């Protein structure tokens, strides 16, 4: 799948390095319980590059670094722009989870998921850029804001047009609840496996107990009703005999 470029061509190399670092960290560290952010140095370099690019476009990025959690802006007012944060990790992980198909899937079937991921990434990137522009809006940013709003509208329309291609994909409601609560979607798979293993142990224990009970019952019946028990076992073992 073609890599998505940064807001500025000058930052493409840093963005691709960070994307590669993040993908490796997410798969090899985060999913295995190691939450240490080893990509932070690259991210800081990329962030500085983006800020410089925004400054060249006369977009003030100072609002991005401001902590508004718990302040009046966080609580919201009628004059502020309220945007719901987008969580690309959860969305992309969820879309990857839906990609579980038989190993003999056709190329066209695989391509539809690649295309969906690309559309999601584009929508997330446009939404992120819109947040940056809207965080400290100025009159000179109006054209950029309009472009991002139009890009997001087109992205949503594109996703809506693709929905007919995924009617056969079933996503558990519990998985969406994991994403909404900010949990790693991969935890859903782990929890399902753990519940299955526990249930399997429980059923195996019951089966073993029933087998022991059957042996004990036959033993007692043989002592009390030897002739009838022999006939019963003969019928059970050789049902075709007269």
Instruction: Convert the pLDDT of each residue in 172-221 to its tens digit.
Output: 888 888 888 888 888 888 888 888 988 898 888 889 888 888 888 888 88
Query: Residues 4, 10, 13, CA angle at the centre, nearest 5°?
Result: 55
Range among 28-42, 126-140, 192-206 with highest mean pLDDT value:
192-206
- Domain containing 42 equals 9-57
Same domain as 198, residue 163? no
Asked if residue 96 is part of any domain, the answer here is no
Task: Answer whether residue 120 is part of any domain.
Answer: yes
pLDDT of 129 over the 60 cut: yes
CB atoms < 10 A from the CB of 233, how many?
13
Domain presence at residue 24: yes
- Residue 84: inside a domain, yes or no? no
Give the Cα separation of 187 and 193 in Å (integer). Answer: 10
Across 101-119, average pLDDT? 70
Specify the number of domains making up the chain: 3
DSSP 5: P
Q: Which of 86, 119, 147 is nearest to 1 (CA)?
A: 119
What HEC string does 114-175 produce? HHHHHHHHHHHHHHHHHHHHHHCCCHHHHHHHHHHHHHHHHHHHHHHHHHHHHCCCCCCHHH
Of 166, 4, 175, 17, nearest in space to 91 by CA: 175
Residues 6+ apart with CB under 8 A from 189: 97
In a domain, 219, yes or no: yes
DSSP 172-235: -HHHHHHHHTT--THHHHHHHHHHHHHHHHHHHHHHHHHHHHHHHHHHHHHHH-HHHHHHHHHH
Let me know if residue 107 belongs to a domain: no
Q: How many Cβ atoms sit within 10 Å of the Cβ of residue 101?
A: 13
- Whether the predicted pLDDT of 29 surpasses 50: yes
In a domain, 36, yes or no: yes
- Identify whether 137 is part of a domain: yes
Whether 159 and 199 share a structural domain: no
User: Do 229 and 190 fall into the same domain?
Assistant: yes
């Amino acid at each position: 799948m073609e890599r998505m470029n940064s807001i500025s061509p000058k930052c493409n190399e840093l963005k691709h390095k960070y994307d590669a670092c993040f993908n490796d960290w997410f798969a090899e560290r985060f999913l295995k319980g190691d939450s240490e952010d080893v990509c932070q140095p690259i991210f800081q370099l990329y962030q500085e590059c983006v800020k410089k690019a925004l400054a060249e476009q006369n977009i003030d990025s100072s609002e991005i670094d401001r902590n508004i959690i718990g302040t009046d802006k966080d609580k919201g007012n009628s004059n502020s722009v309220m945007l719901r944060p987008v969580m690309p990790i959860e969305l992309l992980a969820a879309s990857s989870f839906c990609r579980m198909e038989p190993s003999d899937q056709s190329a066209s079937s695989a391509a539809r998921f690649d295309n969906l991921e690309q559309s999601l990434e584009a929508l997330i990137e446009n939404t992120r850029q819109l947040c940056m522009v809207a965080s400290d809006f100025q009159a000179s940013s109006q054209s950029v804001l309009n472009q991002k709003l139009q890009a997001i509208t087109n992205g949503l329309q594109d996703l809506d047009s693709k929905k007919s291609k995924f009617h056969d994909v079933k996503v558990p409601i519990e998985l969406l609840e994991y994403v909404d609560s900010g949990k790693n979607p991969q935890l859903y798979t782990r929890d399902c496996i753990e519940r299955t293993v526990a249930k399997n142990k429980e059923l195996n224990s019951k089966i073993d107990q029933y087998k022991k009970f059957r042996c004990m019952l036959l033993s007692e019946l043989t002592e009390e009703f030897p002739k009838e028990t022999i006939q019963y076992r003969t019928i059970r073992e050789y049902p075709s005999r007269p």
